[in-house]
Structure 1
Amino acid sequence: MPTTKNGAQALIQSMINQGIKYVFGIPGAKVDQLFESLQYSQDPRTPKLVVTRHEQNAALIAAGIGRLTGKPGVVATTSGPGVSNLATSLITATAEGDPVIALGGQVPQDDLGRLTHQSIPSQELLATATKSSVEVQHADNLSEAFANAYRLAQAPKAGATFLSLPQNVLSAPVERPEIGTVSPVQQGVADEATLTAMVDQIKAAKLPVILAGMRASASDVTAAIRRLLDQVDLPVVETFQGAGVVSHAGEDNYFGRVGLFHNQIGDNLLKRSDLVIAIGYDPVEYEARLWNVDRHGAVINLDSVVPEISTDYQPEMVIHADIAKTVDALTAKLPTEWALPASVHDDLAELRHAFSQQAVAPTADDSHGIHPLAIIQALQAQVTDETTVAVDVGSFYIWLARYFRSYQPRHLLFSNGMQTLGVALPWAMAAALERPGQPVVSVSGDGGFLFSGQELETAVRLKLPIVQLIWDDGHYDMVRFQEIAKYGHDAGVDFGPVDYVKYAESFGAKGLRVTQTDQLASKLAEAFQTSGPVIVQIPVDYRDNQQLKSQLLTDVLN
């Protein structure tokens, strides 16, 4: 019996079967059949179509969904520049382990390879930005292609997949049934001999340290690590994407985050450790040549992904298995009476004290702007453990990564693999959609904000409760302070001022301006009490930035 379903409708049913809730994107002639079907579907399970203001941002929102949930978000764009505008976001997602499926319109098949309107080799263009790039050749293959893209995007290491969809394929009739719900890829637990070897190494070590990486922040892995820490006292160092692995209750085990510059408390601890247990660690976050140099201890690499071996990273034990299951098995096998020696605890307490002393804001001097630590402390006072804080790239992101505390996984979001400007607001929008009723903060500099600031209109349209902080100093300052450190001066880092309060108001959002340190608490409180998006513009004093790069802490464990 012939069917009346076309390719676009079959694709939508495939999304329904995989539980997709949203499709973000911008329309165009080559995907209008898909957008038409999304907009007017009578099935209440149909993903909600969210029209954005730029394809790059649409893909970042979708990738944000992937980071928060572990399940792929979906972005759909038209052909030509619609597809090419996806590249940066998909590269970011693939590097940083965020599952996302990109659907790109394409010219009809009989126009492929011809110099026609918006005809580009989309599949080839995005092949290097994704885990998989496929051009669907027949409408009957759409559901299979989507199911495989879904599974591959989610499988370790998670990342982006791309489907190129010729216009005639989306409109062609479909005869085959759609693929049903795809089961997740399962990995096994490490075997008994491996677990015994892990226990023996931990018991023999003088200072074993956990390095919690990006895949440690998956909810099941974080829960397993917390169960381990409930039983044994092990110090933990987080990467930027590992933020929130250590809970409030386990705060005594937390020794900061590492990333970018080799001069932190966590770096000192890793250097002195004779056994680093790297859990879900990915070198794109923080290369081993920065933390594993001049060390004389062993490394255990536990991950769902086979590690990349380099001259700087050659783990003595590599365990390729389900991380959460293996951590739980390790916890069950470790003797409950095992503990670090009292002398090591004393050293760690001294290190923890030095760490806490770093985060104290100096006396306010508002003549040059507000000190970063003062902004961080004011924000810390406003948030709960359930607040999502999405952080853009700039000097502020180093300050936040080092000094802002977060106690839930994937609630403090960084782009530390690609350091992509403009990620914060799109990720915050994803959080506002996925975590309704919970506070959401986006933090940007005055440089990076305008990479995605046009999505403020989308946030207003969706009535998303986002507090957008803009640290304002008039420079691309993360580049600026490093140039000054290298050359004694800066170059090519200045731009003109923007009144972000008026900018916010022009989009229908609320705008607030802070001019003095003592206004921070009241202005932030007002922002958090505002329904819908609000921008808070804050002048920042970055004169202490050189400490971020040059301040080397005393190694109290030596």
Structure 2
Amino acid sequence: DQADAARRGDERVAVHDAGDRRRLARHGCRGRDRARARRGCGRGRGRVLRRRPGVVSTGVGPGAAAAVHGTAHLFLERAPALILTDRFGEADYVRLPRQRLDQPALYGAVTKGSFTLGRTDAATTLRRAIDLAMAGRQGPVHVDLPYDVMQASAPEEAFPAGPFPKRYFAPAGESAALREFAAAIQSAARPAVVAGLQVNRSGPAAEAAFVRFAERLGAPVFATMAAKGTLPEDHPLAAGTFRNVASERALLDHADAIVLVGVDPVELFSASWPYEAPVLVLDEVPCTEGPYSPALEVVADLASSLEAVTRLVTPHSGWNREDLDAYRGQRDAALRPQGAGLLPAAVIRIARERLPRDGILTVDAGQHKVLTTDLWTSTRPGGFHTSSGLGSMAVALPAALGAKLAEPQTPVVCLTGDGGFLMRAGDLETAVRERLPIVIVVFNDRALNMIKLQQDRRGFQRLGTSFAESDFAAVAAGFGFEAVRVRSEAELDAALGRAMASGRPWLIDALIEPEAYA
């Protein structure tokens, strides 16, 4: 029996060995593929920072099934990745139902496409998969690796050369389409601008061009969660985060044009669009879905088109700068409740004060994410990461690992709820083994607060939302982390100071008032 199992093999070990010998990969040693899939989610986040596709490798059947959740996150986060799954060889696939799943069908809803590696086309197939992952709306692509193919011999084949494809959709310079787009902006007295994730996916040239465009125009600038920091959020024009929620209307109801640059509808929280002002869209991908109908849409390379539009527009003085300051002040005041004990907003404020401007923050799903999204001042592109498309729990910790792998010299802070942390506690071992000095702050409020608040607002019982008391500092210490529990702002500030200066993995178990989100 053991010989038969070895004959079929788990070819993942051969793939990992080859990758290690070529210094192409780093591996976990966790037994469960669910963990590996979630770490792949974090590695995908690191690859977004590097603007290259990540790789997730997982086993047949249960391994492939466990990786679906992480792949769904990558799909709706528009993060390019290859999802490599083992598959039985053809003879065994037909005869052996154990662990047999139709893996291309399983991944059909959460990837851009699926390929099966063949004996004679391995390099070409992988090149096609990478190009698909990087094209248009980027995302994961699935590749099945049959055992018999992975065990077969084949002539050495050079990997097809060439960089990832560049995309130019409009003529260079001031095309008629861009002149019309600029004229539409110019005709508005009070345009407002929203930056979306495609600005960052396009690269540093597009990010820099967007800042020049925003400063030239002089209009308020919002950013979606994935684009926070494209224009530093301490800039005088920065209006904060855009999620298409009611609080933003206090400013946007006064706009007479809304300019969406690289905005993906997956980033929006509401299916309704309350604004009467015309929507002007500039993106590298056509707008085929979403709650708004653009009055004008230009599909073009963002860097060159933004440079052209910047030359064609003049500064707008229709906005009163005091109005923008008042909007920001009212929004922040509403998000900072008063009360005794350690409050969530205070945790966010102190973490922002301690993390350097070039640092990276990752934040998990939950009520603390809503607060962090609006209160956190992001001062660099790629400095704020969460699950904006899928909105999944348990993303912040693996995302922090991926961010630290991508930028080893950059400080990384992870904000996670107790529920999300309980789902990812095993990743502490990865951080210690890989010597990744991330700083984790756990919002220990003993509850799933987002669901609890929904129950309260509708007059329902609180069911299934409370946790028993857990000492997360003790858990982290058992993995080799430096760890401490804090109950006050002063204790948190001191702990973060020590953690940021230590160069070691740290966990801060922040005991939050349970009713602080009410």
TM-score for both structures, normalised by structure 1: 0.85
Q: 1:506 to 1:287 in 2, by over 3 A?
A: closer
1:118: how far off?
2.4
Change (3 A) 1:177 1:240: same
Partner-residue secondary structure (3-state), 1:251: coil
Percent identity of the aligned residues?
24
Partner of 2:432: 460
The residue that corresponds to 1:526 in the other structure is 498
SS at match of 1:448: helix
8 Å CA contact 1:61, 1:427 repeated in 2: yes
Separation (CA, whole Å) in 1 of partners of 2:19 and 2:164:
26
Match of 2:227, SS state, is coil
Choose the corresponding residue for 1:169, options 138, 141, 149: 149
Matches within 5 A, 1:21-36: 29-36=10-17
* Correspondence for 2:446: 474
Q: Distance in 1 between matches of 2:61 and 2:17?
A: 20
Tell me the distance in 1 between the aligned counterparts of 2:405 and 2:476.
20
Aligned with residue 197 of structure 2, among 214, 227, 230: 214
Alignment pair present for 1:47 and 2:25:
yes
Q: Partner letter of residue 47 of structure 1?
A: A
Which residue of structure 2 aligns with residue 419 of structure 1? 391
Cα distance in 1 for residues equivalent to 2:59 and 2:200: 34
**Alignment partner of 1:543: what SS?**
coil
- Aligned partner of 2:4 in structure 1 is none
1:277 aligns with 2:234: no
Contact 1:140 1:176 in 2 (8 A): no
1:81 to 50, 59, 62: 62
Structure 1 Cα separation of the partners of residues 271 and 17 of structure 2: 51
Task: State the shift of 1:396 in Å.
Answer: 0.8
What secondary structure, in the 3-state scheme, does the structure 1 residue paired with 2:267 have?
Answer: coil
Q: Which amino acid aligns with 1:491?
A: L
Answer yes or no: is 1:354 the counterpart of 2:330.
Answer: yes
Q: State the partner residue of 2:226.
A: 241
Task: Give the Cα–Cα distance (whole angstroms) in 2 for the partners of residues 301 and 179 of structure 1.
Answer: 38
Higher mean Cα deviation, 211-220 or 454-463? 211-220
Matches within 5 A, 1:121-160: 121-136=102-117, 138-160=118-140
Identify the match of residue 499 of structure 1 among 458, 462, 471.
471
CA spacing shift, 1:94–1:195, aligned 2, 3 Å: same
Q: Distance in 2 between matches of 1:285 and 1:231?
A: 26
1:425-452: CA deviations, max 9, x gaps? 1110011111111111111100011222
**DSSP 3-state at the match of 1:441:** strand
Counterparts of 1:112 and 1:460, CA distance in 2: 39
The answer to whether the 8 A contact 1:188-1:325 is kept is no
Aligned partner of residue 104 in structure 1, secondary structure: strand
- Please name the residue that 1:257 is paired with: 241
Q: CA deviation at 1:460?
A: 0.5
Query: Displacement, 1:542?
Result: 5.2
**What SS does the corresponding residue of 1:97 show, helix, strand or coil?**
coil
| Separation in structure 1 between the aligned mates of residue 337 and residue 269 of structure 2, nearest angstrom | 30
* CA deviation profile, 1:312-351 (whole Å, cap 9, x unmatched): 311011111212221111112224xx3223x633433432
Amino acid paired to 2:68 = A
Measure, in 2, the Cα distance between the counterparts of 1:332 and 1:411: 29
Contact 2:16 2:25 in 1 (8 A): no
**Alignment-derived partner of residue 325 in structure 1:** 304
Q: Does 1:345 align with 2:321?
A: yes
**Alignment correspondent of 2:44:** 63
For 1:369-380, what aligned pairs fall within 5 Å after superposition?
370-380=342-352
Q: 1: distance between equivalents of 2:96 and 2:47?
A: 36
Deviation at 1:530, TM superposition (A): 2.5
Residue 315 of structure 1: aligned partner: 294
SS in 1 for 2:100: coil
Aligned match of 2:177 in 194, 213, 221?
A: 194
**TM-aligned CA deviation for residue 359 of structure 1:** 5.9
Which amino acid is 1:435 matched to?
E
**Offset of residue 259 of structure 1:** 2.5
d(CA) in 2 for partners of 1:33, 1:117? 22
Residue 483 to residue 272, structure 1, CA distance change in 2 (3 Å): farther
- Quick one: distance in 1 between partners of 2:95 and 2:47? 36
SS in 2 for 1:319: strand
- Shift in alpha-carbon separation, 1:49–1:545, aligned structure 2, 3 A: closer
Q: Which amino acid aligns with 2:299?
A: H
Please state if 1:300 is matched with 2:275: no
Corresponding residue for residue 490 of structure 1: 462
Unpaired runs of at least 5, structure 1: 1-27, 547-558
Q: Deviations for 1:132-155, whole angstroms, at most 9, x for unmatched residues?
A: 11122x232111111111111111
> Which string of whole-angstrom CA distances, capped at 9 and with x for unpartnered residues, describes residues 148-188 of structure 1?
11111111201111111011111211225222334222222
The alignment status of 1:381 with 2:368, answered yes or no, reads no
Q: State the partner residue of 1:17.
A: none
Q: Contact between 2:107 and 2:142, CA under 8 Å: does it hold in 1?
A: yes
CA gap of 1:473–1:49, structure 2 versus 1, over 3 A, is closer
Deviation of residue 48 (structure 1)?
A: 3.6
Shift of 1:543: 3.3
Partner of 1:539: 511
Once the two structures are TM-superposed, the CA of residue 392 in structure 1 deviates from its matched residue by 0.7
Residue 451 of structure 1: which of 410, 423, 429 is its match?
A: 423
Aligned to 1:23: none
Match of 1:385, SS state, is coil
User: What SS does the aligned partner of 2:253 have?
Assistant: helix
Residue of structure 1 in register with 2:72 after alignment: 91
TM-fit CA distance, 1:489: 4.0
Equivalences, count: 502
Q: In the alignment, residue 321 of structure 2 is paired with which amino acid?
A: H
Residue in 2 that maps onto 1:511: 483
Letter in 1 for 2:350: A
> What amino acid maps onto 2:220 in structure 1?
P
More divergent stretch after superposition (400-409 vs 491-500): 491-500
What's the secondary structure of 1:272's corresponding residue?
coil
1:370-417, CA deviations, whole angstroms, 9 ceiling, x for partnerless residues?
111211111111011211111111111111001011111121101121
Note the C-alpha offset of 1:465. Answer: 0.7
Shift of 1:288: 5.7
Letter in 2 for 1:334: V
What is the CA-CA distance between 1:358 and the residue it aligns to?
A: 4.5
Please tell me whether the aligned partners of residues 90 and 130 of structure 1 are also in contact (alpha carbons under 8 angstroms): yes
- Aligned to 2:240, the other structure's residue is in SS state strand
For the residue of structure 1 that corresponds to 2:15, the secondary structure is helix
Contact residue 394 and residue 445 of structure 1 kept, 8 A: yes
